[in-house]
Structure 1
Amino acid sequence: MAKKKSAKKQKLSWRARQTQRLRRWGLRTAIWAVSLFIFAVLIFTVINPPTTYTMLSEKRRLGAIDQDWVPMEAIAPVMARAVVAAEDANFCDHWGFDVKAIRAAIEAGGARGASTISQQTVKNVYLWQGRSWLRKALEASITPVVELAWSKRRILEIYLNIAEFDEGVFGVEAAAQHYFGVPPDRLSARQAARLASVLPAPKQRSASRPTTSQVRRIAAIMDGAATIDRDGRARCFQ
């Protein structure tokens, strides 16, 4: 009887040790995962993202892509304003999520998008394209951290350098040369609006051959860019 109790006690002790080891392993894994995540966010405050999942996918598919990084100082201010006007007019006023836009999207039955430039940048830098609950959950988790770690100007700088403007054409430097044959600091207000008008669907739209609806969108973007410049909604990145 004593031997049975001893064996049972040893078995319970073994299970307790294994459980303790698993807990320690789980805790260490969680700490490493969080540390790696924080590092992956902080590193891009000073280093430019070398590539993205979308760029790699397109490079495999097409054989080559066009992308050259340029700092914000080498991008015409009107280009930055045009993209914000087109994609996220309240960019300077939110913390990564535009609650008003989300409500409007819900009221419209999901017919319109509500992703901010911050969310799109997180998706492009860290995640993948396509719709899935997992991607949206990861995007929602990473976006507030990026907003805390990066300045608004940095978020927009990265977005302008990694957004796709045509098939295999990534970033405003490549886009400005591809469509208009000029560097990004020489873009006019109309050219900037035409580039911004292709976002976020560059495979369905063209800055050189805009559709009738896109022409109207270009005019609206030009007006919006001028408006956010006047009312101060461009203050965080200019």
Structure 2
Amino acid sequence: MTERKKPVGQPDKRRAIVAGALTLFARDGYTRASQDAIAAAAGVSNRTIYNHFTDKADLFQTVIQDSTKRVADTMVDLIDRHLGKVVDLEQDLIDFGLAWLGVLTSDLAPHFALIRQINAEAEHIPPAALALWQETGPGRTRSALAERLRRLAERGELRITDSRRAAGHLMLLVSADNLTDRAELHDPDALRAMVTAGVRAFLHGYATTDGPPVTAPAHPKGPEAG
């Protein structure tokens, strides 16, 4: 495991390096992003990077930690906001799903481009960085969602024996991977159709009473999303 270097120098320089590295890692991936390009993107010299980070693996791990924490904080806040006080289970889950997908096109979008790069070249990513991402990102958000679903089950609104598995199912069902084209992330009608279908499928399996038919509203352009 790479020994972490203690930060030295100006905090603004360090933040600039991390921001520049996120841009490059998200665009080019871990293996293709060169330190020269990262230095140029951050507006610093290679020597300045070495003043703050031991090597590229150390920098990458810092980028993952910083980016993942910001996204996880946002996701946990969405979970608490939409599922902390449920009034209409189906509608609240749909609103949550739409807000969840909205993060993908927010100013946090570079993080998700980075994750796609990580998935594409996982065998080349430092294991410590992968473990950190799983623990502080997907692991943390799934646990938070599982806890909210567990509470709904205690209230008798859901029928759940494994809340973490149920959380995984809900995340998959409202995932952007269910869109036929990522451009549909910017199409409110397509998103609502897909999320509605996903939530109804989830409730079909987990609701304590029979919900509405597991069908999506017709996409305005013709085919259904989801």
TM-score by length of 2: 0.30
TM-score by length of 1: 0.29
Higher relative contact order (CA 8 A, sep 6+): 1
> Between Structure 1 and Structure 2, whose CA radius of gyration is higher?
1
